[in-house]
Structure 1
Amino acid sequence: MNVAVLGTGYVGLSTGVCLAEIGHDVVCIDVDERKIDVLKQGRSPIYEPGLDELLMRNISEGRLTFTSNHPQGLRKADIIIIAVGTPQSDDGQADLSYLEHAAKDLAEHIVQDCVVVVKSTVPVGTNEYVKHLLLGQLKNNVEIKMVSNPEFLRQGTAIEDTMKADRIIIGSEDADASEKIQEMYRPLNVPFLLTDVRSAEMIKYASNAFLATKISFINAIANLCEAAGADVEAVAMGMGFDKRIGSAFLNAGIGYGGSCFPKDVKALLHTSKELGVPFSLLEETIAINEHQQKLLVDKALKRFGTLKGKKIAMLGLSFKPNTDDMREAPSIRIARAITAAGGKVTAYDPVATGNARKVIGDIITYVDSAVEAATGADALFIVTEWDEFKQLDVAVLLDVMKQRIIFDGRNCLEQVVLKIGCPIEYYPVGRPEVIIKDKKI
């Protein structure tokens, strides 16, 4: 099949590369000419494990091309996938301006009958709106059929999530269009759920809102565990064995971030208010997450009394491991809170430093290793659970710190800390703190 993909962000690029990998001829289109130039050279502008290898292979085998020229990219396409961003507006609703621009470009340059697939995360009713825009501005006499095909990719595992998806949602009012999209994805051997367009649009928001709520729930339980003297890890494990609940997304910590959960929860809440349907559960999900993102700072303030003049080493900047994405990352709020309280932050992240500079700015110091960040620090904050940090020789970090105090926002170092046996203060989330005063303890 000839497939065109509009947008080369995480979703568009991952989708385009994987469709080429299963044998389709794919053209990825983006208005950013610099990004297209980079992609033509076989280099990914985003950090995503496994992406570079597939990118190079499919370019070299002639199944994957890139262009900023819409007429060139669309002239053979019988399936057009829209995968542009739908960021959050100031009032919480999804900003559809990129989608509207994409529809305008399509209307001007489509030259043959095609199926237009909206893969971008959009509010209920958006596919109908896009179809209305397209039909109202078409330059050529062609037939367009619409399909809603929401994505469920996780940054850091986007390739695996595409090639080994749990399900593929296809929402359409046209049986032929639905069958064509099934044919496109059939080599993946993934279960299909066929539904109407509006339900497909709602499935994406409902899924992400539920997962975000699950995270906020276990974080609220973690705070309760600390007050009650219980262990949230044991509680989560006990809950997870229940097949009705499951263990996924029951890891207590400092909250969710990224490009999906924060904006999708707020967008769904905005929709509920527009429709006059109360959804206070989502309001509480957001409130708990905002509180959780400043949890480490609260713990540090409780321990020190003040952060003025304190040097805090921060390990991790991206919102999760295996990505350089800084969107809604907890590190942003943490860094700003520490500096606002008079503290100084020295941070290290394996891949996200460049993007962090653009978001956080020069209010903190960026270094090239965990040891460099920890040198002379009064406390160490674990913000992102990179494998590199889990495998650290913590004793080496403690030796260069001014005070041996660790605030672990991801509960990933306790077993290592317990083996050290030297004086240390260790403060996890939802678990008993570990205070070792001397080597005999």
Structure 2
Amino acid sequence: MMKQTLGVLGGNSIGVALADSLEKRGYPVVLIEPTGELSIPLETIKFVFLCVDSSQFWSVVEETVSFLTKDTCLIIHPTVPIGTGDQLQDWCDQKGLKVVVASCAMMEIQHPSHIVIGGQANHPKLKELRHIMLSYDVPILMTTRKEAEIIQYTRNAFLATKMSFINQVASFCETFGGDIQTIARGIGMDPRIGQGALKAGIGFGESLSDNLLSLIEQGKQNGVKTPLLEAVQEINDVQGDWVKNRLRRELGALEGKTIAIWGVRDQPALDIIEQLLAEGMELHLYDPFLSSDHSFPRNTIWHADKWKTVEQAEALIILQECQPFQEVDLLHLKEKLNHPLILDGRNLFYPDMMDMLGFRYIPVGRKV
């Protein structure tokens, strides 16, 4: 039997990923741009996922939602301020729109471990929505809209907390001795904690940070103190200085130094690049998943060949965890490097092996 057509309103990265994910599960999907033309009438789509940034949320709602019919279920997917779902339902009711509003919380859109759906309990449209999401073959929790929104925020905040915690522990390991990966395994063996997100590195990125700062701000606006969340963000900000500080210890003054950087796709890497540029360094960049037409930070030098980046470099910095870096020919790298200094922000290699090969290898959370 032909599955019903679903709508995804908003062409940002979340909307595109969700549309692709639903199509892979057999649902025809119409990607709706707020000001674009549709291949089919909007009123024929009975389930519409609203995937727009918080800053554009209400303007998109006002432009688009009035075209929906009384049989439509409007699902808020991305992270929005707590209470937005209830506000949207009230707005629709005041406009006389018989639209049912739900909130949906998913991590890892392509392969979620679970799904949270918030809305009016036992409403027929919520039951239909649950049936659609059962195509992901993962546990589904039904909640109120506010509960789903709080879950989305606090789940991200807890993930960020674990990441900042293990980075704080990594600082102890670098000072007192010990291997952060062994420490993390030992901590994670406690079933109350688990192994997830206990991987030291250069910090979490813009998405988690924005989520955390938004939750902190919502707390301030409503009289809720958030000292733990503020500390999590502060630790992450400090962790971003790890590369610069370690380079100073190894190279002294940084101005004029030539550095190779592998892996430049996420926000922590871009922040580190900006820090090093501010120090007056010459940066040679490589990423196996980017090409020369990508928009790179100004005053950097892009190479399509990773070996070209290291020929004149006084150090190699690894900022991304990916298979091409994990499988690199280390003997050839040793030959190519002008100086055998590697700062590894993702802990890809065994320190003893790197020492045996003649590298000055500095990972996160290991005393060297």
Q: In which range does the TM-score fall when normalised by the shorter chain? A: over 0.9
Amino acid at match of 1:191: P
Task: Give the one of 163, 185, 188 matched to 1:240.
Answer: 188
Q: In the aligned structure 1, how far is the partner of 2:92 from the partner of 2:311?
A: 58
Aligned partners of 1:371 and 1:396 also within 8 Å? no
- Sequence identity percentage: 28
What residue in structure 1 maps to residue 338 of structure 2? Answer: 402
What residue in structure 2 maps to residue 143 of structure 1? Answer: 98
Task: Give the one of 152, 172, 179 matched to 2:119.
Answer: 172
User: Secondary structure of the residue that 1:146 maps to in structure 2?
Assistant: strand
What residue in structure 1 maps to residue 219 of structure 2? Answer: 272
Q: In the aligned structure 1, how far is the partner of 2:309 from the partner of 2:278?
A: 19
Q: In the aligned structure 2, how far is the partner of 1:21 from the partner of 1:102?
A: 27
* CA offsets 1:214-262 (integer angstroms, 9 cap, x no match): 000000000011111121111001011111111110111111114x211
Aligned partners of 2:216 and 2:230 also within 8 Å? yes
Q: In the aligned structure 2, how far is the partner of 1:111 from the partner of 1:355?
A: 43
Amino acid at match of 1:267: S
Q: CA distance change for structure 1 residues 354 and 293 in 2, over 3 Å: closer, same or farther?
A: farther
Task: Give the one of 89, 94, 97 matched to 1:131.
Answer: 89
Q: In the aligned structure 2, how far is the partner of 1:152 from the partner of 1:419?
A: 36
* CA offsets 1:11-54 (integer angstroms, 9 cap, x no match): 2222222323333332111258xxxxxxxxxxxxxxxxxxxxxx
Q: In the aligned structure 2, how far is the partner of 1:289 from the partner of 1:419?
A: 28
What residue in structure 1 maps to residue 29 of structure 2? Answer: 26
What residue in structure 2 maps to residue 386 of structure 1? Answer: 322
- The yes-or-no answer on 1:196 pairing with 2:110 is no
Q: Aligned residues, how many?
A: 364
Amino acid at match of 2:280: G
Listed as ranges, the matches of 1:37-116 within 5 Å are: 68-70=36-38, 72-85=40-53, 96-116=54-74
User: Secondary structure of the residue that 1:308 maps to in structure 2?
Assistant: coil
- The yes-or-no answer on 1:152 pairing with 2:107 is yes
Q: CA distance change for structure 1 residues 391 and 241 in 2, over 3 Å: closer, same or farther?
A: same
Aligned partners of 2:344 and 2:361 also within 8 Å? yes
User: Secondary structure of the residue that 1:149 maps to in structure 2?
Assistant: strand
What residue in structure 1 maps to residue 302 of structure 2? Answer: 366
Q: CA distance change for structure 1 residues 348 and 414 in 2, over 3 Å: closer, same or farther?
A: same
Aligned partners of 1:70 and 1:105 also within 8 Å? no
Q: CA distance change for structure 1 residues 20 and 30 in 2, over 3 Å: closer, same or farther?
A: same
* CA offsets 1:346-405 (integer angstroms, 9 cap, x no match): 0101224568625x2x22111112211111100000111111111111222222222111
Task: Give the one of 239, 242, 255 matched to 1:308.
Answer: 255
User: Secondary structure of the residue that 2:100 maps to in structure 1?
Assistant: strand
Aligned partners of 2:68 and 2:99 also within 8 Å? no
Amino acid at match of 1:129: Q
User: Secondary structure of the residue that 1:27 maps to in structure 2?
Assistant: strand
* CA offsets 1:302-352 (integer angstroms, 9 cap, x no match): 111111111010000012xxxxxxxxx112221112121121110101224
Aligned-residue offset at 1:8: 2.9
Aligned-residue offset at 1:174: 4.5
Report the more deviating stretch, 261-270 or 6-15: 6-15
What residue in structure 2 maps to residue 412 of structure 1? Answer: 348
Report the more deviating stretch, 220-229 or 391-400: 391-400
User: Secondary structure of the residue that 1:175 maps to in structure 2?
Assistant: coil
User: Secondary structure of the residue that 2:105 maps to in structure 1?
Assistant: coil
Q: In the aligned structure 2, how far is the partner of 1:183 from the partner of 1:402?
A: 59
What residue in structure 2 maps to residue 14 of structure 1? Answer: 17
Amino acid at match of 2:225: P
User: Secondary structure of the residue that 2:320 maps to in structure 1?
Assistant: coil
Amino acid at match of 1:147: A
Q: In the aligned structure 2, how far is the partner of 1:285 from the partner of 1:18?
A: 32
Q: In the aligned structure 2, how far is the partner of 1:354 from the partner of 1:244?
A: 46
Q: CA distance change for structure 1 residues 332 and 271 in 2, over 3 Å: closer, same or farther?
A: same
Aligned partners of 1:255 and 1:289 also within 8 Å? yes
Q: CA distance change for structure 1 residues 240 and 117 in 2, over 3 Å: closer, same or farther?
A: same
Q: CA distance change for structure 1 residues 254 and 353 in 2, over 3 Å: closer, same or farther?
A: farther
Q: In the aligned structure 1, how far is the partner of 2:165 from the partner of 2:22?
A: 37
Amino acid at match of 1:426: Y
What residue in structure 2 maps to residue 90 of structure 1? Answer: none
Aligned-residue offset at 1:142: 4.5
TM-score (norm 1): 0.78
User: Secondary structure of the residue that 1:186 maps to in structure 2?
Assistant: helix
Q: In the aligned structure 2, how far is the partner of 1:406 from the partner of 1:70?
A: 52
Amino acid at match of 1:308: E
TM-score (norm 2): 0.93
Aligned-residue offset at 1:72: 3.6
Amino acid at match of 2:151: I
Aligned-residue offset at 1:208: 0.3
Q: CA distance change for structure 1 residues 364 and 102 in 2, over 3 Å: closer, same or farther?
A: same
Report the more deviating stretch, 13-22 or 288-297: 13-22
Amino acid at match of 1:195: T
What residue in structure 2 maps to residue 431 of structure 1? Answer: 366
Aligned partners of 1:395 and 1:420 also within 8 Å? no
Task: Give the one of 231, 236, 251 matched to 2:199.
Answer: 251
Q: In the aligned structure 1, how far is the partner of 2:198 from the partner of 2:38?
A: 44
